[in-house]
């Protein structure tokens, strides 16, 4: 299905084709729509086509999110001459097939997190990205929270020695959307589609953030995982009458509801992680604290324009956590936005993600996090599951 605008995609610099149009599809669309209108970009993203299996739904998504055309088969999207970058926003079970096909078709690729549903898939994707890189193609994983200005500022401060030698990283990512046992068995609760539960969905983010902020990798973990509600109504089967009649068809939850794990970083610093979908009252609560011998940094996604910093080198009478309002022009990404004090939001991380991907393609550099970085996160997640299966035994993360 073509619109006259589709021909414009070729003329506008970098044709984008996106597979998937749910929550992440909407968030990424915001990024592609906005990046070149806020940042001075050497290439202008052109939203050439969006892809989804349901023809009516994907046509509606194209109209709603500003895509010039709609496709119902990702293979057709990849084959389009007006698409130079494929953005994979589908459930994890299709990341490898689509991303590898796109790389082998000569496209750049942005792939949502986690990179894949298994280490083997992630290894194949990283291999394909390495081969594509020799052809000048770029690949990146969508760990968008790195692109929160306060998180990027925290990275600058850690790298600049403001907290000294790192001793602890403490990260929690808590949601509560499936506390109700009658919440239906959606794709995120089925291993064959999602790969894992809170671990891969939320845990992937906090593993990536811990390693990004620390500037080093995890070398081993000890973990517990749990599935609190083991069967749920199938989508469409739930409803007021169904539970009473007992007639609702139900299916097994085959992923974790929560994962708690500790980890050792390469320098010997210790880390603790909590990823749960059963933290009642926590909607999308991502909190991070780093402690070094010269100071500490703390971040709360619910106050995402702020960073708390404690300078341990000043006299105790003057020290303590102080708030840095991350809205100054020399804070990461902020030069392009509003005057100091006018904060940003969750969706701005996707605008920054699109900006960084386009800038790397134009500069011929490798965007981060790479598929190799995504593979390493996948190895940590696999070590977490191995440790949990062995009742929390310390499990090395393969290099």
Would you tell me which residues interact with ligand SOE (CB under 6 A)? 23, 175, 201-202, 284
Taking a C-beta distance cutoff of 8 angstroms, is the pair 299, 287 a contact? yes
- Sheet of 69-71: strand order equals 69-71, 45-51, 14-19, 85-88, 108-112, 139-142
Q: Shortest distance, CB of residue 284 to ligand SOE, whole angstroms?
A: 6
Q: Shortest distance, CB of residue 201 to ligand SOE, whole angstroms?
A: 5
Give the residue carrying structure tokens 């992923």.
255
Q: Shortest distance, CB of residue 206 to ligand SOE, whole angstroms?
A: 11
Compute the C-alpha angle 99/103/107, nearest 5°.
110
| CA nearest to 172, candidates 289, 266, 256, 264 | 289
Q: Shortest distance, CB of residue 196 to ligand SOE, whole angstroms?
A: 12
Nearer to ligand SOE, 84 or 144 (CB): 144
Nearer to ligand SOE, 82 or 87 (CB): 87
Where do the H-state alpha helices sit in the chain? 4-11, 23-38, 55-65, 74-79, 95-104, 119-133, 149-159, 191-194, 198, 204-214, 240-245, 348-363, 371-389
Whether the ω angle into residue 369 lies within 30 degrees of 0, i.e. cis, is: yes
Nearer to ligand SOE, 121 or 201 (CB): 201
Q: Shortest distance, CB of residue 205 to ligand SOE, whole angstroms?
A: 6
Backbone angles phi, psi at 139, to 5 degrees: -135, 140
Nearer to ligand SOE, 71 or 112 (CB): 112
Which residue's beta carbon is nearest to the bound ligand SOE?
Answer: 201
Nearer to ligand SOE, 46 or 286 (CB): 286
Q: How many residues are recorded in the chain?
A: 399
Taking a C-beta distance cutoff of 8 angstroms, is the pair 139, 368 a contact? no
Nearer to ligand SOE, 82 or 208 (CB): 208
Q: Shortest distance, CB of residue 218 to ligand SOE, whole angstroms?
A: 20
Nearer to ligand SOE, 284 or 365 (CB): 284
Q: Shortest distance, CB of residue 285 to ligand SOE, whole angstroms?
A: 11
Residues 6 or more apart whose Cβ sits within 8 Å of residue 375: 115, 119, 122, 123, 125, 126
């Amino acid at each position: 299905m073509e619109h006259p605008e589709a021909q414009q995609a070729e003329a506008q610099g970098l044709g984008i084709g996106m597979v998937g149009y749910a929550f992440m599809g909407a968030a990424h669309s915001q990024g592609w729509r906005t990046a070149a209108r806020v940042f001075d970009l050497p290439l202008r993203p052109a939203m050439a086509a969006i892809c989804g299996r349901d023809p009516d739904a994907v046509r509606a998504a194209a109209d709603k999110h500003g895509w010039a055309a709609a496709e119902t088969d990702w293979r057709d999207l990849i084959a389009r001459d007006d698409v130079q970058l494929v953005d994979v926003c589908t459930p994890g079970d299709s990341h490898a097939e689509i991303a590898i096909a796109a790389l082998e078709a000569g496209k750049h690729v942005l792939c949502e997190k986690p990179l894949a549903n298994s280490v083997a898939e992630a290894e194949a994707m990283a291999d394909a990205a390495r081969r594509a890189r020799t052809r000048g193609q770029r690949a990146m994983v969508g760990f968008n929270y790195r692109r929160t200005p306060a998180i990027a500022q925290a990275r600058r401060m850690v790298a600049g020695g403001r907290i000294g030698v790192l001793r602890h990283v403490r990260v929690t990512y808590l949601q509560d959307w499936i506390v109700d046992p009658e919440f239906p068995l959606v794709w995120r609760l089925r291993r064959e589609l999602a790969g894992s539960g809170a671990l891969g969905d939320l845990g992937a983010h906090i593993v990536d953030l811990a390693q990004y902020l620390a500037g080093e990798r995890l070398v081993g973990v000890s973990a517990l995982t749990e599935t609190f509600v083991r069967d749920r109504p199938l989508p469409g089967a739930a409803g007021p009458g169904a539970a009473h009649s007992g007639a609702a068809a139900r299916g097994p939850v085959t992923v974790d509801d929560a994962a708690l794990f500790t980890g050792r970083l390469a320098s010997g610093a210790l880390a603790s992680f909590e990823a749960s979908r059963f933290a009642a009252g926590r909607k999308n609560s991502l909190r991070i604290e780093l402690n070094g011998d010269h100071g500490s940094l703390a971040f709360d996604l619910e106050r995402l324009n702020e960073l708390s910093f404690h300078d341990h080198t000043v006299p105790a009478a003057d020290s303590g956590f102080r708030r840095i309002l991350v809205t100054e022009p020399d804070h990461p990404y902020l030069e392009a936005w509003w005057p100091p004090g006018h904060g940003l939001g969750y969706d701005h991380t996707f605008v920054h993600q699109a900006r960084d991907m386009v800038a790397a393609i134009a500069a011929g550099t490798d965007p981060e996090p790479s598929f190799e970085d995504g593979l390493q996160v996948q190895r940590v997640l696999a070590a977490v599951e191995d440790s949990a299966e062995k009742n929390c035994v310390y499990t090395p993360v393969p290099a």
